[in-house]
Structure 1
Amino acid sequence: MISNLNFGQRPSAAHARMSTSSSPQPSMSSSSESPVNTPTFDTNGLSTTDSLSDERLESRDGSNDIIPKIEETELQLSDVKPEPMAEDTPLSPTEPVRLRRARGRPRIHPPRSPTTVSKQAKARSKTGCTTCRKRKKKCDETKPFCLSCQKNNIHCEGYKPVEIWKSGKEKAAEARRSSVEIKFELPPLMGGVETDVDRTLLQHFVSRASAVLSLHGDQSTNPFTRVLLPMALQHEGLMHSVLCLSASHICSITPSKEFEDRQVFHRGKALHLLNQDLKRQKAGEGGTMVYEDSNVAQILIHLLHAICDGNTSGEYRMHMIAAKQIAMNQKLKNPEFQSLFDEFFYYHWIASEVTSMDGTEVPMMENFSLPFSINPETAGLIGVSDGLFGFISKISNLRRKLRIRIDEKIEPIMDYEALLTAHAIDTGLRNWVCPQTPGTPRYTLSMLYRQATWVYLYRTTKKSKPDPFIRSAVDDGIKYINELPAEGWIQSNVLLPLFLMGCAAFEENQRVEINRAFSGLMAATGLGNITFAKEVVDRVWHLMDTDDPDSWDWEKIINQKGWDFLAT
């Protein structure tokens, strides 16, 4: 059997003889199976056995040999040797060299030679300044401005911000998120209420601040929510005033920079709009200014703001003077608001005389009566509707006259006229009948005012020293205080009588109760002026313990501190 196959070549005669002589001749008597002869192929692809089947080849010596016929056999894979690799040595000098094609997709471009790769231009930098990139110049990338532009006296536009690469999924998620986060701000529903903080202030005024300014804890009956707030919805300046009052009350309870800033903002807006309104208004008959109801409400709110804010600079007085002018010269268009204004103005005007050395008298308190009538059961304050503030006004006038006699050292201090005035006030208090329903918190509070009025009269007409009469009167007043509920709406009227009781507390056990009452009042109302009122009482106690005669004149103590505030 031939060991190697020569594809594409015709075997020579010698080669043929070697093949036939070396291979044994087949015998006719041998096995029936024919010997397997390996065919060879010529250049035309035909088997040599086919072309030479009947031919005879001549040998070199001239003899004629018979070339046996080689049977066609099936080409076995095991007989085919693999093609040599490109780097393999060919099997014979005449055998052609075949290169094996690499697996995979064919290259689009032929591979570059190392020389071509080394000469390839480097990628252009993308981190240069904007100016150099536009000019297609090399940038030294000095930041914030490159030196190349500076040397060429060219304006350097700087560098583009570095953009963080994001995948398509991240970009899609960011686009969805931005579309969801699109939010259009709603315009304000009410003038002056612009932010979430303002809405909180408005809610606080309705639920808390208005309840500690009057004896009406129910929002439906509270004059500030029932009468004044609807006016604020129609007037932006009044709404700013309301929010300023609410912010001052919140800050007196829990100081907050955010609410303090809004308080300053609303106060500035309110005063600005009030001044604009007053410039547009014309004077009435006799040259007297006629105020709109909304402007009168602003003046009243700013008066109450001094109480919530705890202002001691006398800021309330400018509003008090304007309110006094309105009360004396005009009537308001809204009857309900007229009643609210009269009660609150006269209450704070008369109460201001208890803590001030101002010599202005209240002329409308003739015969201990008021120039208007208010139903005691629906009044927002105690003392005005039941007539007790008529007595307090008379005592304040008497106290100023006695102070003049003391300062000028005129004897006797209690002259005949002063004695008649004191006797008339005492008689009026003994004959006074409480208009409130017995057994109610209003009745207890009204009786507390009566007790404090008598203590105020005693401390005005007597020397500042302990006495069984004053001790008994203060003890009864403390009992009234302890009977009152702790709710803010009833505690809103307690500061004035508590201050008068404190300035007459000579006994240590009385002072303990007074301190407890001050702490409860601060917790229930959160009004800013309570702290200053308590500090004055502490100073009076110190002078009492040293037998100092100045403990009689707490108004002078307040004046020496440079304070001017309302104890209401």
Structure 2
Amino acid sequence: MDNPLDSHLFSYFITHAAQALNIYSETYNPFDGFVIDMAIGNTGLMHSLLCLSASCLLAHQPSSAQEIVVRHSHHFDRAVVTLRKGVEAYSSYNSTQNADCIMLQTILLALEAIVTGEIHGSYRCHLLAAQRLVDSCGDLSSDVQSFARQFLLYHNLANTISCLDPVNVVKSPMQGCQTETAEQGIFSGSCVDGILHGLLDPMSRTRQVRDAIRYHRGIGNSRWFMDEQLLSLALGVETQLRTWQSRLQPNTPQYWSSLAYRQSAYVYLYRTIKPSKASAELAQVVSEGLSYTSLALRDVTRSDGMNGWVCGVLLPPLFLLGCACFEVSQRQLVLESLEDLHACNQRTNIVHARAILEEVWSRMDAAHDADDAWDWEAVMKDMSVDIMLS
């Protein structure tokens, strides 16, 4: 830190940004733990941390002094340069310390792109690099490896449900993916894997169904259900969701969040296998999902910020629920919840999520024969928006 503003950015990261970025738990937040500790001893990681802190500060206070913008640019440039040098050095001399710093820098730069709401997919290279490191690097410490797996588990899911060409498609355990700790019996009720426990598999299978139906729609075949294998896959997902039960302590923000994800998974499947038409069944599922989201946000508010990390994982289910809102009253509830989420962490991608939903709603209301409201991933592409809805 060679500038007085850097001390301010470091302090802001400790007091504000670390909490806003947390998606892990109230008692275990890597951002105000070993991430800071390691950054103090590594120049490149410190540049990445200060760059991310500046992005968080600018998102929270857009009118911040121009000097903050200048420092952000400086730290971003230095972070990229030092990361490249770190990768080159690691290829010559493997060590746990080098591997840990490379992974953490990669994650922080991915978050920098997400926080700023950059719409041209700059998060992609970092997300891909992080996945490759987790899959192939044997030198990561247990803390950093766990941190990276949780990060990828959540962000890969968020990317998979909203993007035509996701960076790292979330795979089910039966497809051989070894990074989905929430599906392998490793259960932590206080972290994001606890919220998603038992839901990654049906949601990844829904993505398979969705891609196959998109293909059938593309060749003008509306009778996709004549494909017995595809129909069996869709029915299997429905069975999984009907029998799913949350393993979290009832009446907690984590519990309500897990139920919101379950409802959004229903919506994901329903909107995939059905035309874009209103129905009482769909409205009921959406209503329950929005209620669970509201309860999660309410409990966070009532606890004076305790479990505030839960706010960091609610955008994906809220977005999916929004894609199924045919009723104006439900759309208003989605917008209100988006405002609450934005108040929690000030992420610019929430603003973009609202714009995407409003375009999807416009197409739902237009009810074209082509049913282009079915494909919200294509809507994002039409809008030239490639962001991480996380």
| TM-score, structure 1 normalization | 0.62
CA deviation profile, 1:442-481 (whole Å, cap 9, x unmatched): 1111111111111111111110010111100010011112
2:243 is the counterpart of 1:436: no
Q: 2:188 aligns with which of 376, 400, 409?
A: 376
Q: Which amino acid aligns with 1:308?
A: V
2:34 is the counterpart of 1:227: yes
Deviation at 1:322, TM superposition (A): 1.1
Q: 1:422 aligns with which of 223, 228, 234?
A: 234
Q: Which amino acid aligns with 2:284?
A: S
For the residues of structure 2 that align with 1:453 and 1:420, how far apart are their CA atoms?
Answer: 17
Residue equivalent to 1:213 = 21
CA deviation profile, 1:376-426 (whole Å, cap 9, x unmatched): 223256544x13222222211221111111111124133322211111111
- Cα root mean square deviation, aligned: 2.2
Asked if the contact 2:158–2:389 (Cα under 8 Å) also holds between the matched residues in 1, the reply is: yes
Q: Report SS of the residue matched to 2:261.
A: helix
Percent identity, aligned pairs only, is 30
For the residues of structure 1 that align with 2:177 and 2:132, how far apart are their CA atoms?
Answer: 20
Q: Which amino acid aligns with 1:469?
A: E
Residue equivalent to 1:337 = 144
For the residues of structure 1 that align with 2:247 and 2:4, how far apart are their CA atoms?
Answer: 44
2:358 is the counterpart of 1:538: yes
Residue equivalent to 2:278 = 466
Q: 1:501 aligns with which of 307, 321, 342?
A: 321
Q: 2:375 aligns with which of 553, 558, 564?
A: 553
For the residues of structure 2 that align with 1:258 and 1:368, how far apart are their CA atoms?
Answer: 48
Residue equivalent to 1:319 = 126
2:305 is the counterpart of 1:492: no
Residue equivalent to 1:102 = none
The 1:301–1:209 alpha-carbon spacing in structure 2 relative to 1, beyond 3 Å, is same
For the residues of structure 1 that align with 2:192 and 2:322, how far apart are their CA atoms?
Answer: 25
Q: Report SS of the residue matched to 1:529.
A: helix
Deviation at 1:489, TM superposition (A): 2.3
Residue equivalent to 1:26 = none
Q: Which amino acid aligns with 1:331?
A: G
Q: Report SS of the residue matched to 2:163.
A: coil
Deviation at 1:561, TM superposition (A): 1.4
Residue equivalent to 1:49 = none
The 1:435–1:369 alpha-carbon spacing in structure 2 relative to 1, beyond 3 Å, is farther
Residue equivalent to 2:201 = 390
Q: Report SS of the residue matched to 1:465.
A: coil
2:49 is the counterpart of 1:238: no
The 1:530–1:398 alpha-carbon spacing in structure 2 relative to 1, beyond 3 Å, is same
Residue equivalent to 2:82 = 273
Asked if the contact 2:106–2:130 (Cα under 8 Å) also holds between the matched residues in 1, the reply is: yes
In the alignment, structure 2 segments of 5+ residues that lack a partner are none
For the residues of structure 1 that align with 2:223 and 2:261, how far apart are their CA atoms?
Answer: 30
Of 256-265 and 300-309, more deviation after overlay is shown by: 256-265
| TM-score, structure 2 normalization | 0.89
For the residues of structure 1 that align with 2:345 and 2:119, how far apart are their CA atoms?
Answer: 18
Residue equivalent to 2:99 = 292
Asked if the contact 2:364–2:373 (Cα under 8 Å) also holds between the matched residues in 1, the reply is: yes
The 1:234–1:524 alpha-carbon spacing in structure 2 relative to 1, beyond 3 Å, is same
For the residues of structure 2 that align with 1:276 and 1:362, how far apart are their CA atoms?
Answer: 30
Residue equivalent to 2:162 = 355
Residue equivalent to 2:55 = 248
For the residues of structure 2 that align with 1:340 and 1:222, how far apart are their CA atoms?
Answer: 9
Q: Which amino acid aligns with 1:467?
A: S
For the residues of structure 2 that align with 1:408 and 1:229, how far apart are their CA atoms?
Answer: 52
Q: Which has the larger radius of gyration?
A: 1
2:108 is the counterpart of 1:301: yes
Asked if the contact 2:162–2:376 (Cα under 8 Å) also holds between the matched residues in 1, the reply is: yes
Residue equivalent to 1:67 = none
Asked if the contact 2:192–2:313 (Cα under 8 Å) also holds between the matched residues in 1, the reply is: no
In the alignment, structure 1 segments of 5+ residues that lack a partner are 1-192
Deviation at 1:215, TM superposition (A): 4.0
Residue equivalent to 1:200 = 8
More relative contact order in 1 or in 2 (CA 8 Å, sep 6+)? 2
Q: 1:282 aligns with which of 66, 86, 91?
A: 91
Q: 1:516 aligns with which of 332, 336, 340?
A: 336
CA deviation profile, 1:486-534 (whole Å, cap 9, x unmatched): 3442211111111111110000111111111111111111011001111
Residue equivalent to 1:8 = none
2:290 is the counterpart of 1:478: yes
For the residues of structure 1 that align with 2:93 and 2:241, how far apart are their CA atoms?
Answer: 41
Q: Which amino acid aligns with 2:215?
A: I
Residue equivalent to 2:389 = 567
